[in-house]
């Protein structure tokens, strides 16, 4: 794929992770990604093995504990502090290089599917399967989920000439892409003039020796972390050493109209945010009361059907209605453009709050169960003839924070997320309207939406939440 020269003018980045002595060299090294992927691939293999052959009780099995307690807690922390480090180290894409070589002359991903609709569907589908089949409680299903990921990633990479699995399908990737829009680092060019005079555009086109960007991002035009899996293939491919992993102003991506004004991208942000509420709702007592009430009203005890109704509303209907409704009201109050444009403009404002709710929820589980990994590992080793860290696993280990600390963490996270969303909303409205009165009017429906989401989140976190994935739960 050939691109024309860049049109953006940017100052040279003040901080570039790829210039940090030692680390930058490691990251740009040809096998640099493998250094991070290989250990995760070994861990994934052990998780699959233990999931299929180990203890049936979820809090005693590596597959369930590492997936549903540790992975989720660490991934949101990495997104917050650095960026899409999980996609960078993704073990599922370890066979990607081989698959991409197979796909060099492969088909292009169908034009009709070059959007986020499938990723949204699979993201919602995965969250639904998690609830309907209690994935968190089943080492066996969790192991097969990991296997399915490896197979799907390889097959789609091999069949198609770009990276459709990462860009258009992967539900984890969809989550990480949205989360990474608040991350402090972003791929960019060091010197726009060098890109302008660059003939080969190897960062995206690749060369005989190295692959270009798998998700077909063109470095000098990147303004968003959406679709960047942080593989750093662009940095390895650039013959002019002109790619930076640069620090950027907090929340700048969300305020500078970096996203395309598309239905799918806007609704991905809203689904991400409402799914944070829905996922937490699935673990508090009212969900069981609602299930019982629905079972009575509908005269059925089909739990999958009842959960499909509940989570269909929470994950799909609510974000669509809330987003389109807010855009419609915003347009009515301030006049102007099409609903899609207004929705696309303001949808980024919900991301900090949505991310904060996910963070609060995942860290509730991580901070209350992180140490469970010690007895689980001890038990795994003992079962395989190796005694480590003392002989008897201490199944009382779990929390790294006291119970009242957990609530403060949740409350603080939601509050910070709300304030960040508010700041983004205000900036977007100010950018869109010269008249400050019109800006306030345009942002009002979105402000109401943010307040509602924040209040619902705090309410959920005041309720007793299931301690999934740990013995004390
Ligand atoms: S290959 Fe390097 S210099 Fe050329 S366009 Fe890409 S980033 Fe710029
Ligand atoms: S821009 Fe493309 S090649 Fe560069 S790190 Fe992101 S996904 Fe990888």
Delimit the domains of the chain by residue range: 17-248, 258-462
Determine if ligand 1 sits within 6 Å of the CB of residue 190: no
Place of tokens 């509420």: 277
List the structure tokens of 256. Answer: 């500078």
pLDDT of residue 213: 92
Alpha-carbon distance of 58 to 295, in angstroms, equals 28
171 alpha carbon to ligand 2 midpoint, in Å? 18
Q: List the end-to-end C-alpha distance of the chain, in Å, as a whole number.
A: 53
Sign of the Cα torsion 114, 79, 86, 136 reads negative
Alpha-carbon distance of 233 to 37, in angstroms, equals 14
pLDDT of residue 324: 98
State the SS3 of the chain: CCCCCCCCCCCCCCCEHHHCCCHHHHHHCCCHHHHHHHHHHHHHHHHHHHHHHCCCCHHHCHHHHHHHHHHHHHHHHHHHHCCCHHHHCCHHHCCHHHHHHHCCCCECCCHHHCCCHHHHHHHHHHHHHHHHCCHHHCHHHHHHHHHHHHHHHHHHHHHECCCHHHHHHCHHHHHHHHHHHHCCEEEEECCHHHHHHCCCCHHHHCCCCCCCCCCCCCHHHCCCCCCCCCCCHHHHHCCCCCEEEEECCCCHHHHCCCCCCCHHHHHHHHHHHHHHHHHHHCCCHHHHHHHHHHHHHHCCCCHHHHHHHHHHHHHHHHHHHHHHHHHHHHHHHHCCCCHHHHHHHHHHHHHHHHHHHHHHHHHHHHHHHHHHHHHHHHHHHHHCCCCCCCCCCCCCCCCCCCHHHHHHHHHHHHHHHHHHHHHHHHHHHHHHCCCHHHHHHHHHHHHHHHHHHHHHHHHHHHCCCCCCCCCCC
262 alpha carbon to ligand 1 midpoint, in Å? 28
By the 8 A CB rule, do 181 and 275 touch? no
Best mutation site among 9, 203, 207, 235 for ligand 1 pocket (most ligand atoms within 8 Å of CB):
203
Best mutation site among 4, 199, 201, 217 for ligand 1 pocket (most ligand atoms within 8 Å of CB):
201
36 alpha carbon to ligand 2 midpoint, in Å? 16
238 alpha carbon to ligand 1 midpoint, in Å? 5
pLDDT lower than 70: segments of the chain: 1-11, 96-106, 387-391, 468-473
Alpha-carbon distance of 69 to 91, in angstroms, equals 18
pLDDT of residue 160: 84
Q: What residue owns the CA closest to ligand 1's atom 4?
A: 201
> Which of these, 113, 148, 114, lies nearest to 129 by C-alpha position?
148
Determine if ligand 1 sits within 6 Å of the CB of residue 131: no
Q: What residue owns the CA closest to ligand 2's atom 8?
A: 231
Sign of the Cα torsion 271, 272, 273, 275 reads positive
pLDDT of residue 470: 59
Alpha-carbon distance of 269 to 377, in angstroms, equals 37
Alpha-carbon distance of 324 to 446, in angstroms, equals 11
245 alpha carbon to ligand 2 midpoint, in Å? 10
- Which numbered ligand comes closest to the C-alpha of 232? 2
Taking each helix axis from N to C end, the angle separating 339-346 and 436-462, rounded to the nearest 10 degrees, works out to 60
Alpha-carbon distance of 154 to 221, in angstroms, equals 28
- Which numbered ligand comes closest to the C-alpha of 215? 2
What does each C-alpha distance from 466 to 25, 229, 287, 428 come to in angstroms?
44, 32, 12, 38
| pLDDT tens per residue, range 67-87 | 999 999 999 999 999 999 999
| Residues whose beta carbon lies within 6 Å of some atom of ligand 2 | 187, 213, 215, 217, 228-234
pLDDT of residue 466: 76
What does each C-alpha distance from 225 to 12, 29, 100 come to in angstroms?
18, 22, 22
Alpha-carbon distance of 121 to 453, in angstroms, equals 22
> Which of these, 338, 456, 401, 467, lies nearest to 59 by C-alpha position?
467
């Amino acid at each position: 794929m050939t691109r024309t020269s860049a049109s953006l003018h940017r100052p040279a980045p003040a901080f570039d992770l790829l210039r940090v002595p030692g680390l930058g060299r490691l990251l740009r090294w040809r096998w640099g990604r493998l250094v991070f992927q290989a250990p995760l691939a070994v861990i994934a293999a052990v998780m699959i093995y233990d999931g299929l052959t180990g203890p049936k009780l979820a809090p005693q099995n590596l597959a369930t504990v590492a997936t549903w307690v540790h992975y989720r807690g660490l991934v949101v922390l990495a997104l917050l502090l650095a960026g899409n480090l999980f996609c960078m180290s993704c073990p599922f894409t370890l066979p990607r290089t081989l698959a991409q070589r197979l796909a060099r002359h492969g088909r292009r991903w169908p034009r009709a599917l070059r959007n986020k609709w499938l990723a949204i569907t699979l993201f919602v589908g995965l969250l639904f399967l998690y609830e309907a089949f209690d994935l968190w409680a089943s080492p066996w299903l969790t192991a097969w989920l990991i296997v399915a990921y490896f197979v799907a990633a390889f097959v789609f990479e091999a069949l198609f000439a770009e990276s459709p699995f990462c860009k258009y399908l992967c539900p984890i990737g969809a989550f990480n892409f949205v989360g990474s829009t608040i991350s402090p680092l972003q791929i960019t060019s060091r010197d726009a003039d060098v890109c302008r005079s660059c003939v080969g555009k190897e960062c995206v086109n690749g060369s005989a020796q190295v692959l270009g960007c798998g998700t077909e991002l063109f470095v000098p035009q990147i303004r968003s972390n959406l679709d960047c899996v942080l593989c750093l293939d662009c940095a390895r491919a650039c013959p002019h050493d002109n790619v930076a992993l640069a620090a950027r102003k907090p929340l700048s991506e969300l305020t500078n109209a970096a996203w395309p004004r598309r239905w799918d991208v806007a609704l991905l942000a809203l689904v991400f945010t409402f799914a944070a509420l829905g996922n937490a709702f699935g673990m508090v007592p009212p969900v069981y009361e609602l299930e019982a009430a629905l079972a009575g009203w509908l005269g059925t005890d089909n739990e999958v059907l009842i959960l499909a109704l509940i989570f269909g509303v929470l994950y799909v209907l609510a974000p669509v209605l809330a987003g389109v409704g807010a855009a419609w009201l915003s347009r009515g109050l301030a006049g102007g453009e099409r609903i899609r444009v207004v929705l696309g403009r303001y949808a980024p404002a919900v991301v900090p709050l949505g991310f904060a709710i996910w963070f609060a929820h995942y860290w509730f589980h991580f901070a209350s169960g992180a140490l469970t990994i010690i007895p689980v590992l001890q038990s795994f080793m003992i079962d395989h003839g190796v005694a480590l860290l003392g002989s008897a696993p201490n199944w009382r280990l779990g929390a790294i924070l006291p119970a009242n600390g957990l609530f403060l963490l949740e409350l603080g996270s939601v509050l910070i997320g709300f304030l960040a969303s508010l700041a983004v909303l205000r900036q977007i409205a100010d950018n869109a309207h010269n008249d400050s009165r019109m800006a306030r009017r345009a942002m009002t429906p979105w402000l109401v939406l943010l307040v509602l989401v924040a209040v619902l989140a705090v309410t959920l976190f005041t309720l007793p939440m299931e301690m999934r994935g740990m013995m004390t739960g």
